Amino acid sequence: MTATLVVYESKYGVSEAVAGHLGRVLGPARVCRVSELLQGGELCDAALGAAEFVVIVAPVYRHSPDERVQEFVRARADQLRARKVALVCVGLATSAGAVRAYLQPLTDVLGDCVVWTGGLGGRIALDWLEAPDREDVERAEDLRGHRGLGDLDAYSAEAVAEAALAIKAVRDSFARAMPAEDLRAHIDDFLSRHATCTLCTGAGGHVRATPVEYGYAEGSLYLLSEGGEKFAHLLVNPHVSVAVYDPYKGMDKLAGLQLLGVAGLVADDSPERARALELHGLDEVRLATLPFALNLIRVHVERAEFLWSGFTAMGFDVRQTYLFPADVAAEPDPAPPGEPRA
């Protein structure tokens, strides 16, 4: 996994909170205040030395990045240029033009190592501010007359989450990737050697994680279930996540798959149903002896994230991502579970 460092400075706490959220999404990562790095803090200095990817969170004061952030970028420019860097400014203005202008002093120094830039909304309550900052706000024509947190609040948890995932996608694109054909073979082998997964479904404010047996064939998981809350979720949201993993035996023996896909019911009269039942060692004759019906769910896997310690011995990152091809196999019932057809 790519070693990541999130660096920030914060006067009133908003940028500190943003940095913390980014660090958790980008983990494993360390989050360090710029002042600790400028003062030679050993822990943060070691984190910068080990990092392959650095995120710099810069609060905006008087239309410029925090002076301590600028000082850090100038002082560590050589180290930063040897890495991939994402720049995030935090302020009340988040338009593309404003973000570009705010980050200009940093991009001018760092140049081509910057692989992502973006702006996130901050917030101001006048009673937080030090006198020079309060005077600056009161002089600003676009802010004059505002006095409450609500009027000066551009912060959005959703925007922070979206930015974190966007940065993660860019960072992960630089990973030492295994050739897709070889990775698919490892994924197929792992899924074929296991038979139990955790199926995660959700809709609205409801979520569910269900341990269930599966059969695997050609990029699809087939799960049999007598029913339950997961079908209420699938009725309105067919997107699911599935986890398959080995028992934990140490950090050097990790093996687990996180799968994203789309679930649907396989119709009772579909030829696919008979093939899927064979994966479970069943047929319609045996099912008919049960006192209840079994529903067959097919999950077409779209994306797999495979964490396996064995990848490192092959010269690749321990976490590999594979995108499955478009679904060309037999389709499950196109109507959502329980949805009548016209």
Residue 144, pLDDT score? 44
- The pLDDT, as a whole number, for residue 139 is 61
- Does residue 75 sit within a domain? yes
State yes or no: pLDDT of 272 exceeds 80: yes
Range(s) of the domain holding residue 197: 180-323
One domain for residues 225 and 134? no
Q: Which residues pair with 301 in a beta bridge?
A: 261
- Whether residues 112 and 197 fall in one domain: no
* 186 and 146 both lie in a single domain: no
Residues 188 and 319 in one domain: yes
In the chain, the number of structural domains is 2
The verdict on residue 221 lying in a domain is: yes
Asked whether residue 116 carries a pLDDT value surpassing 90, the answer given is yes
pLDDT at 339 over 70: no
pLDDT (0 to 100) of residue 243: 98
Distance CA 47, CA 67 (A): 22
Q: Which of 119, 154, 172 is the last residue of a domain?
A: 172
Residues 118 and 208 in one domain: no
pLDDT grade, residue 145 (50/70/90)?
A: very low
Q: Same domain, yes or no, for 10 and 130?
A: yes
Q: For residue 254, give the CATH number of its domain.
A: 2.30.110.10
- The 10 Å CB-count burial string (b at 16+, else e) for 297-317 is bbbbbbebebbbeebeeeebb
Q: Taking residues 89-97, what's their average pLDDT?
A: 91
**160: in domain:** yes
Q: Are 84 and 188 members of one domain?
A: no
Both 117 and 196 in one domain: the answer is: no
- Structure confidence at residue 96 (pLDDT): 93
Q: Is residue 329 part of a domain?
A: no
- Name the band, by pLDDT with cuts 50, 70 and 90, for residue 11: confident
25 and 118 co-located in one domain: yes
pLDDT band at 146 (very low <50, low <70, confident <90, very high): very low
123: in domain: yes
pLDDT of residue 134: 63
Write down the pLDDT at residue 328: 46
Residue 123 is predicted with a pLDDT of 75
DSSP assignment of 26-41 equals H-SEEEEEHHHHHTT-
Say if 290 falls within a structural domain. Answer: yes
Output the pLDDT for position 63: 85
- Measured CA to CA, the distance from residue 267 to residue 281 in angstroms comes to 19
Residue for token digits 């007359």?
A: 145
Residue 268 in tokens: 């009772």
d(CA 8, CA 12): 12
Residues 164 and 206 in one domain: no
Are β-strands 196-203 and 206-217 bridged in parallel, bridged antiparallel, or unpaired? antiparallel
pLDDT reading at 141 higher than 60: no
- Could you read off the pLDDT of 18-65 as tens digits, one per residue? 999 999 999 989 999 998 888 877 888 888 999 999 999 999 987 899
Q: Are residues 189 and 288 in the same domain?
A: yes
Looking at residue 70, the DSSP 8-state letter turns out to be H
> Which of the 8 DSSP states describes residue 141?
T
Q: What is the mean pLDDT of residues 315-334?
A: 75
Domain boundary, last residue among 118, 138, 172: 172
Higher model confidence: residue 246 or residue 44?
A: 246
Tell me how far the alpha carbon of residue 74 is from its chain's centroid.
30
Is residue 160 pLDDT above 90, yes or no?
A: yes
The yes-or-no verdict on residue 142 having pLDDT over 60 is no
Query: Do 184 and 231 have their domain in common?
Result: yes
Last residue of a domain, one of 154, 172, 190: 172
For the chain, how long is the longest CA-to-CA vector?
A: 81
Residue 333 lies in a domain: no
Tell me, what CATH number does 153's domain have?
Answer: 3.40.50.360
Does residue 336 fall inside a structural domain? no
